[in-house]
Amino acid sequence: MTKYLSKGLHSLPAIVFAALALWLSSCQKTPEACFEPTFSSSIVGKTIGFRNCTQDGVSYRWDFGDGGTSEQPTPIHDYARKGTYTVTLRAFSENGNKSDEVSQTILIGEKYLTRIEVVNVSLTNENGGFWDPDTSGPDLAFYFGPDSLPPNVFASADTVADVDSASFPVAWDFSSQNIQLADSFWFFQLHDINTVGISDLMGSWKVIPKPKVDNPFVLTNPLNAATEVRVYYEIRP
């Protein structure tokens, strides 16, 4: 009898320790995994940040879907190739016994032009007069290509004639023309065909839009401060 009682007393601390550990584990909350990428679609080589909005998480494991991983709470990541990637975050409790997982897809591709809006232009020429002797407003057109004037163009927009203040915004839809902004120089032409058939050129300038990330991004003409153009695009694989 004494032998069995002694054995029970010696094993009591281990039992208490196990019970305490189980109790502490049960008190820990299960994390609710949550994250928000800075961009849900982006271009190759652009850094994407991931804001961790997890509740009750202590440690984290990220899988970016391209072989890259991280254990940082709020990592950043660059994708080297186009494609659609599934980003997964698993959040763990303090002892790692409880966890939660959430996933989102990221599209990595190139920028393709969808729409252009001319928000404003000067309706008078550099001398403050009318663009045409008949006092009509200027004509607007866009050209895309290696040179400022046709015929060396990748794509062009129909001319909108005799623009006045009520015409704005003047817009064109390019969503079906497959114009990749990362590859194209493009030029804005504002002109008016006067009474003798000569085009009075108001503004033309070259832009390399690859560094632009805002959508839409805004262009202004350094030769004509009144000009404002908005360029819209979408990311495609």
Q: Does domain 35-109 have CATH number 2.60.40.10?
A: yes
* Alpha-carbon gap, residue 68 to 59, rounded angstroms: 17
Of residues 27 and 193, the one with the higher pLDDT is 27
Say which range, 21-30, 93-102, 185-194, has the weakest mean pLDDT. Answer: 185-194
Q: What is the location of CATH 2.60.40.150 in the chain?
A: 111-236
* pLDDT at 17 (0 to 100): 46
Identify the top-confidence range among 9-13, 62-66, 233-237. 62-66
Query: In CATH, what number does 111-236 get?
Result: 2.60.40.150
- Asked if 48 contacts 62 with a C-beta cutoff of 8 angstroms, the reply is no
> Chain-wide mean pLDDT for the chain?
78
Residue 29 has pLDDT above 80, yes or no: yes
Question: pLDDT band for position 178 (50/70/90)?
Answer: confident
Residue 19 has pLDDT above 60, yes or no: no
Say which range, 77-81, 136-140, 182-186, has the weakest mean pLDDT. Answer: 182-186
Task: Write the pLDDT tens digit of every residue in 63-122.
Answer: 999 999 999 999 999 999 999 999 999 999 988 889 999 999 999 998 888 998 989 887
* pLDDT at 57 (0 to 100): 96
